[in-house]
Amino acid sequence: MVLTLLLALGLVGAALTLIARAAVLPRIRADQNVGRIAAYGYRGSAAGETAPKRTPMFPKLAAWVGTALAGGATAKRQTELRNTLLAAGLWRTTPATVQGYRVILAVGLAAMALWTAAKGGWPPFVAVIVAGYGFLTGWIVPMFLIKARARRRTERIEVELPELIDRLVVTLEAGIGFNSALQRSGERMSGPLGEELRLTLHEHELGLTMQAALANLLQRCDVPSVRAFVRAVTQSEQLGISIGHVMRELSSDIRKRRRQII
């Protein structure tokens, strides 16, 4: 009996995890694509079209639920969640929306577990355990997926950063200015680092200084290699040191960091 109960709980847990992943991951990918489009200034409709913009009902509901419950979260917690979303590349997703998804998913899975228990005639204590398990799964899985995505993305940025520095060294030694060298390098790079560079350059084009744009880059990707890169660029401009020499010295240090990651 105990073995059968444990097996049933394991199967229910696996099913709930798959349901949670299926419910959350498509929305995460959609928000990522919308964030990229908005960040780079493109529009979803052609010029001259006046089609009204419609916000899907489920995201609106999640945002409303998250906003209603935001009073219980501290400012530090909200900032941490926002930084995690930035690291994951979900620039348009707000912390309140994520919290709303977590609440809806947790309550929905708990209700589904209770309904299944009632239909199957399970004992009350088993129904309560399964419902609690479903609630915890719905609450934890969305953040687990977001943090896993942020971790993979920042690791890729650290792996790709030495290639960026090599490109910068070549272009800087050819007599090109740092801003132009960064733009040329960003245009030729793909992956998360290329996305972050293009967003940084876009912010600079909108009026931010390069130091402020790089500070925003560090806020989105607060990892040791990016921190060292931003610090080197800032100190080079403040002290008047050759940026090409600084990049060459930084390249060896960051390659050591990449070997540790790989």
Query: Which pLDDT score is estimated for 172?
Result: 86
- Mean pLDDT within 104-121: 91
Looking at 33-37, 63-67, 98-102, 121-125, which range is the least confident one? 33-37
Phi then psi for residue 29, to 5 deg, are -65, -40
Q: What percent of the chain has pLDDT over 90?
A: 27
Query: Which pLDDT score is estimated for 20?
Result: 45
Query: Which pLDDT score is estimated for 115?
Result: 93
For all residues of the chain together, what is the average pLDDT? 77
Q: Is the pLDDT of residue 170 over 50?
A: yes
**Tens of pLDDT, residues 191-215:** 899 999 999 999 999 988 888 999 9
**Tens of pLDDT, residues 6-40:** 344 444 444 444 444 444 444 444 444 444 444 44
> What radius of gyration, in Å, describes the C-alpha atoms of the chain?
23
Q: Is the pLDDT of residue 97 over 80?
A: yes
9-15 long-range CB contacts below 8 Å, 24 or more apart?
Answer: 9/129, 9/130, 9/133, 12/113, 12/116, 12/130, 12/133, 12/134, 13/133, 13/137
The domains of the chain are located at 10-39+58-152, 154-261
Q: Is the pLDDT of residue 185 over 50?
A: yes
Query: Which pLDDT score is estimated for 54?
Result: 60
Q: What percent of the chain has pLDDT over 70?
A: 74
Name the class of domain 154-261. mainly alpha
Q: Is the pLDDT of residue 105 over 60?
A: yes
Query: Which pLDDT score is estimated for 238?
Result: 81
Q: Is 52 left (phi over 0), alpha (psi -120 to 50) or beta?
A: beta
